[in-house]
Structure 1
Amino acid sequence: MTEKTVAAAIVTYNRLALLKESLAAILAQTNYLSHVIVVNNLSTDGTKEYLDSLNDDRIVVYHATENLGGAGGFNQAVRLFGEQLQDDFVWLMDDDTMPEPDALSHLVEFVVAHPQAGFVNSQVRWGDVTGNPSWMNVTAPRAFTWQRYLTNTQEPAVEVVNATFVSVMFSREMVAMVGLPQKEYFIWGDDMEYTNRIADINRGYMVINSIAVHKSKENTKPGDIVAEKDDSRLWRYNYEYRNRVLTARRISKKEMVKTLTVAITRDLRKTLLKKGVAFRAKKLGVIVRGLWRGLFFNPSVEYANGLRQAKSRSLCDAEMDLLD
C-alpha cells in the first residue's frame, strides 16, 4: 500500500508566538506529514514577515487581504488543499494547537484500519498534555454507541457526533462530497456544521491515543454567554446564535426547534433572571437578534475547483428507513 500523505492546515491571526510553537509541533510529526498550509488572516504582529522568511518546501502560505475570520480561513485552507495539493488527507487546527509528535500517526493509522471513518480528531487537553480536557473541544459521543466503551477499554477510538477544528482530519474524497467549510459563519460553529456534513455520510471518531494540546487563554465552555465577562467579546455571540440555528436547520426541523427552545428557555431565561449577569441588556439583544437572523441565514456550500463528486446516501436517511 502506498503511504498516505497529509497536509496540515493552520489559520492564524496576530498570535505569532503561538504560531511558531504550533508550526514547530506540526513539523515535528513522526510520519505522514507532506505539507503545512498556513492561512494568515491579515495579521499585523510580524506574522507575514516571519512566514515569508521560512525556507521549507513543505510550507504553503496564503496571506489574506482581509480578515476572513476563522471560518473563512479554514474555507481557504481546505480550498488550497483541494486545488493546489494532491495529499490524501487534510488536518485542521488553530494556531494555538500543539499536537504531540505521534498525534498524526495515530489519526492516519486509525483511518487506514477503519476506512469507513468520515473524520477523525484528537483528544484535546488544555494548557499541557497532563491538563484537563479542553472543554470547548470536547466532542459528544454518538447516542447508542457509548456503552461499548465502558466494557471494552481496548477500543482505539470513540464514535462522536461532530468535532472542532482543533486537530481534526478528513480525506480528499470527503471534501469532494461535502464541499468547503462555510466561510459565511465567520467565527464559531463552522467546525460543527462542517463535521456534521461529513458525519451524515461516514461517522466521525475521536482517536484516544492522538493527543493535542489547546493553549487557549481560558478553559471555558463553548458559547456560554451568561458567564461571559468580557464586553469586547459579545459581538462573537451574534455569530454564535445565528450559526447555531442554521447548523440545526441543516440537520432537521426537529433539531432546529430543539435549538431554539434551548436558547430561549436556558440562555435567554438565565440572562434575564440570574443574579449578577454582566451586560444583561446587551446580551439579551444579542441572543434575540442572533436567533432571528439564523432563521433566514442560508449561504450556499462552495466546492474546490475540480473537486466535486456526488455524495453517498445520507446515513440519517438510511436510519429513518430502518425506523419505517
Structure 2
Amino acid sequence: MSSVNVTAAIVTYNRLDLLKESLAAVLAQTAYLTHILVINNQSTDGTKEYLDSLTDPRLIVIHASENLGGAGGFNLAVKQFITALADDYVWLMDDDTLPEPTALEKMVSFATTHANIGFTQSQVRWRDVNGPAAYMNVVAPRAFYWQDALITPNNPAIEVVNSTFVSVMIPRERVLAVGLPQKEYFIWGDDMEYTNRLVADEIHKGYLVLNSLAVHKSKENLLPGDIITDTDTDRMWRYDYEYRNRILTARRIGKKELIKTLLRSGVRDLLKILLKGNVAYRGKKAGIIIRGTWRGLFFRPSIESAK
C-alpha cells in the first residue's frame, strides 16, 4: 500500500473562495496523494492569478483556453492523468468538495484489498461533515445486494451502480478499458454516464466506502435534476443539458432503461410541471423538458479512447 500513488483532479470555474477551501482539504490528506491537477475553465474571478502563485510541487494547473464545462474539464483532467502521469488512481471532485483528511486513505485502503474495483466513492455530506446527506450525491445501491451491508458486522462499503464526481476514485486500468468521460455532456450527468460505464461489464464493481467522508458545499441541498421544485433562474439553462444527457446515458445502458427514462423524465416530469400547483416558471420548465428530451434522441457523440 505504501507505493500507491493518486492524482486528485479538481475542475473549477469562478468559485475562487470554494476552490481555496477544496485545495486546502485535498492538500491535508494523510496519505497517497502524489499530484493535484486543477483544470481552470477560463475563470475571470482571480482564479488564474491565485493558482499561478502556488508553489506546492504536487500541483499541476491547466488553464483551459475556453470554458469546457464540468464535463469537458473532467475529460481533460482524466486525459492528463493517463498521458502525462503514471499514478495508480485518479480522484475526481468539483471545486466545492471538501474531503476529510482521511477520505483518500480510506478509499485506497478498501480499493487495494478488494478485487475488481471499478470505482470507489466517499460518503458525501452537505455543507458540514455532521450535516445531512448531500442529496444530489446520493447514489443507487446495487439491487438485492445492498442489504448484505446491513447484516455484515463492520461492513466497510456498499456496492453502488454509479457515482457523482464529488470524491470518486478510479483505477488507471479502468480508464484505459472504458475511455474518457464524455466531454460533449458539457454539464450535468457526465459523472453518472461515466461511472455506469466503469461497471457495465458487471465484473468490476463500484463501492460507497462508508468511513471515507467528504463535504459538498453546494448552495442548496436539492435532489438531483429536480427541475420541478428548483426556483433558481440562474440554473435553468443547465436542465436543458440534464434532460438531453439523461437520454444518452439511458440509451447506453439498454432499451429498457431508455423507455423507462423517456416515461419518467419526458412524460412524468412534464405532466407534473403542467398539472401540479405552485410550480414556478411552469412554461419555461415545460419547454426545457421537451427540448432537452428531443435533443437527447439525436445526441450521439462517440466515446473517446484513453489509449
Task: State the TM-score bracket (shorter-chain normalisation).
Answer: over 0.9
Could you tell me how far 1:178 is from its partner in structure 2? Answer: 0.7
The residue number in structure 2 matching 1:87 is 87
Letter in 2 for 1:219: N
The residue number in structure 2 matching 1:282 is 284
Distance 1:245 1:87, change over 3 A: same
Instruction: Give the Cα–Cα distance (whole angstroms) in 1 for the partners of residues 153 and 272 of structure 2.
Output: 39
Moved over 6 A (4+): none
Q: Indicate conservation of the 8 Å contact 2:2/2:32, yes or no.
A: no
1:69-98 CA-partner distances (Å, limit 9, x unpaired)? 000000000011011111000000000000
Match of 2:298 among 296, 299, 304: 296
Q: Indicate conservation of the 8 Å contact 2:129/2:214, yes or no.
A: yes
Letter in 1 for 2:251: R
Instruction: Give the Cα–Cα distance (whole angstroms) in 2 for the partners of residues 11 and 75 of structure 1.
Output: 10
Within a 5 Å distance, the mapping from 1:185-204 to structure 2 comes to 185-201=185-201, 202-204=204-206
1:237 equivalent in alignment to 2:265:
no
Instruction: Give the Cα–Cα distance (whole angstroms) in 2 for the partners of residues 267 and 84 of structure 1.
Output: 43
Within a 5 Å distance, the mapping from 1:39-188 to structure 2 comes to 39-188=39-188
TM-score (norm 1): 0.93
1:169-192 CA-partner distances (Å, limit 9, x unpaired)? 011111100111000000000000
Give 3-state SS (helix, strand or coil) of 1:175's partner: helix
Match of 1:256 among 246, 255, 258: 258
1:7 equivalent in alignment to 2:12:
no
Give 3-state SS (helix, strand or coil) of 1:173's partner: helix
Instruction: Give the Cα–Cα distance (whole angstroms) in 1 for the partners of residues 305 and 5 of structure 2.
Output: 21
Q: Name stretches of at least 5 consecutive residues in structure 2 with no aligned partner.
A: none
1:288-309 CA-partner distances (Å, limit 9, x unpaired)? 11111111101011123xx3xx
Instruction: Give the Cα–Cα distance (whole angstroms) in 1 for the partners of residues 232 and 27 of structure 2.
Output: 35
The residue number in structure 2 matching 1:317 is none
Q: Indicate conservation of the 8 Å contact 2:71/2:186, yes or no.
A: yes
Could you tell me how far 1:265 is from its partner in structure 2? Answer: 3.7
The residue number in structure 1 matching 2:249 is 247
Give 3-state SS (helix, strand or coil) of 2:45's partner: coil
Could you tell me how far 1:56 is from its partner in structure 2? Answer: 1.3
Instruction: Give the Cα–Cα distance (whole angstroms) in 2 for the partners of residues 101 and 192 of structure 1.
Output: 26
Q: How many residues align?
A: 305
Could you tell me how far 1:266 is from its partner in structure 2? Answer: 2.2
Q: Name stretches of at least 5 consecutive residues in structure 1 with no aligned partner.
A: 308-324
Instruction: Give the Cα–Cα distance (whole angstroms) in 2 for the partners of residues 259 and 207 of structure 1.
Output: 28
Greater CA drift, 145-154 or 37-46 = 145-154
Could you tell me how far 1:116 is from its partner in structure 2? Answer: 1.3
TM-score (norm 2): 0.98
Within a 5 Å distance, the mapping from 1:193-232 to structure 2 comes to 193-201=193-201, 202-232=204-234
The residue number in structure 2 matching 1:270 is 272
What's the RMSD between the two structures over aligned residues? 1.0
Give 3-state SS (helix, strand or coil) of 1:167's partner: strand
Could you tell me how far 1:164 is from its partner in structure 2? Answer: 0.1
Instruction: Give the Cα–Cα distance (whole angstroms) in 1 for the partners of residues 270 and 106 of structure 2.
Output: 41
Give 3-state SS (helix, strand or coil) of 1:207's partner: strand
Could you tell me how far 1:282 is from its partner in structure 2? Answer: 1.0
Instruction: Give the Cα–Cα distance (whole angstroms) in 1 for the partners of residues 63 and 102 of structure 2.
Output: 29
Instruction: Give the Cα–Cα distance (whole angstroms) in 1 for the partners of residues 123 and 7 of structure 2.
Output: 19
Instruction: Give the Cα–Cα distance (whole angstroms) in 1 for the partners of residues 255 and 52 of structure 2.
Output: 47
Greater CA drift, 258-267 or 138-147 = 258-267
Give 3-state SS (helix, strand or coil) of 1:61's partner: strand
Instruction: Give the Cα–Cα distance (whole angstroms) in 1 for the partners of residues 30 and 74 of structure 2.
Output: 24
The residue number in structure 2 matching 1:312 is none
Within a 5 Å distance, the mapping from 1:17-28 to structure 2 comes to 17-28=17-28
Instruction: Give the Cα–Cα distance (whole angstroms) in 1 for the partners of residues 208 and 279 of structure 2.
Output: 35
Give 3-state SS (helix, strand or coil) of 1:118's partner: strand
Q: Indicate conservation of the 8 Å contact 2:106/2:209, yes or no.
A: yes
Letter in 2 for 1:164: T
1:133-155 CA-partner distances (Å, limit 9, x unpaired)? 00000011110101212212411
Could you tell me how far 1:2 is from its partner in structure 2? Answer: 5.8
Instruction: Give the Cα–Cα distance (whole angstroms) in 2 for the partners of residues 280 and 61 of structure 1.
Output: 42
Q: Indicate conservation of the 8 Å contact 2:127/2:216, yes or no.
A: yes
